[in-house]
Amino acid sequence: MFRLPLPLPGPVTATATAAERSVSSPFYVHLSLPRRIRGFSLVLAVLATGAFLYTWSFLSSSSHRHQDDIPLYLQDLPKPEGGVDPPRFYEWHEREKRLPQHNPDLPFPQGREGRYIRFSNQLWGLGWGNAMQELLFNAHLAYLAKRTYVFDNYTWDKTSSDFSSFNDKRIPARVPLTALLSGPVAGDPFPPSTNGVPAVIPEFFNEVCPNRTIIDRNEVDGALPDASAATLLQAWLDKLEQIEDRCVEIKEHSGQIFNYLVFGDSTRLLDIWPSISKSPIITHFSWSPLILAALVANAQVIHPALSSISPSSFNPSASTAPLSGLLALHIRRGDYIDHCKNLGNWYAHFMGFNEFPGLPDRFIPPPPLRVGDASEEDHAQYRVHCFPEIEDIVRRVREVRASLSSTTQLRRVYVLTNGKPEWLEELKEALQEDAKKGGMPVWEHIGTSRDLVLTGEQKHNSQAMDMAVAQRAEVFIGNGFSSMTSNVVMLRAAQGLEWNTMRFW
Model confidence over 169-225: pLDDT tens digits?
Answer: 999 999 999 999 999 999 999 999 999 999 999 999 999 999 999 999 999 999 999
The torsion angle over the Cα atoms of residues 208, 211, 212 and 215, rounded to 10 degrees, is 140
Please tell me the distance from the alpha carbon of residue 151 to that of residue 420, in angstroms, as a whole number.
34
Residue 61: pLDDT band by 50, 70, 90 thresholds?
very low
Stretch 15-33: mean pLDDT, rounded? Answer: 36
How far does Cα 281 stand from its chain's mean position?
14
**What's the pLDDT score for residue 64?**
44
- pLDDT interval class at 69 (50, 70, 90): low
Residue 6 has pLDDT above 70, yes or no: no
Question: What single-letter DSSP state applies at residue 26?
Answer: T
- Decide which of 66 and 156 is more confident: 156
Q: Is residue 2's pLDDT more than 60?
A: no
CA angle (416, 125, 414) in 5-degree steps: 5
Judge whether 209 and 116 are in contact, CB under 8 Å.
Answer: yes
DSSP assigned state of 14: P
Helices (H), 242-387: 260-263, 266-269, 273-276, 280-283, 289-297, 299-302, 336-346, 376-386
* CA quadruple 270, 271, 277, 282: dihedral, nearest 10: -70
Taking the C-alpha atoms of residue 382 and residue 367, their distance in angstroms, rounded to an integer, is 13
- Rounded CA-CA distance 252/439 in Å is 58
The whole-chain average pLDDT of the chain stands at 88
The angle formed by the CA atoms of residues 320, 321 and 322, to the nearest 5 degrees, is 115
Q: Tell me the average pLDDT across 468-478.
A: 99
Of 58-62, 140-144, 287-291, 337-341, the poorest mean pLDDT is in 58-62
Residue 97 reports pLDDT greater than 50: yes
Map 171-212 to HEC letters.
EECEECHHHCEECHHHCCCCCHHHCCCCCECHHHHHHHCCCC
Q: Is the pLDDT of residue 408 over 70?
A: yes
Q: Compute the distance between CA of residue 188 and CA of residue 196 in angstroms, rounded to an integer.
A: 10
Quote the CA–CA distance of 21 and 31 in Å, as a whole number. 7
pLDDT digits (tens, 9 = 90+) for 484-493: 999 999 999 9
Q: List all residues 6 or more positions away from 155 whose beta carbon is below 8 Å from its beta carbon.
A: 122, 124, 125, 131, 173, 174
CA 495 to chain centre: 17
pLDDT mean over 406-415: 97
Can you tell me whether residue 155 is helix, strand or coil?
Answer: strand
Sequence ranges of the domains in the chain: 85-282, 318-504
Name the H helices within 71-217.
Answer: 72-75, 90-97, 128-144, 202-208
pTM for the predicted model, two decimal places: 0.86
Confidence at residue 310, expressed as pLDDT on a 0 to 100 scale: 85
By CB neighbour count within 10 A (0-12 exposed, 13-18 middle, 19+ buried), where does 17 fall?
Answer: exposed
Kindly state the average pLDDT of the residues 282-296. Answer: 97
With CA atoms as reference, report the closest residue to 452 among 310, 329, 291, 297: 297
Alpha-carbon gap, residue 225 to 450, rounded angstroms: 42
Using CB atoms within 10 Å of the CB of residue 193, give its burial: 0 to 12 exposed, 13 to 18 middle, 19+ buried.
exposed
Q: What are phi and psi for residue 450, nearest 5 degrees?
A: -75, -10
Question: Averaged over 388-394, what is the pLDDT?
Answer: 99
pLDDT of residue 406 exceeding 80, the answer is: yes
Q: Is the pLDDT of residue 66 over 50?
A: no
Residue 171's pLDDT is: 96
| CATH topology assigned to domain 318-504 | Rossmann fold (3.40.50)
pLDDT (tens digit, 9 = 90+) per residue, 71-89?
677 777 898 998 889 999 9
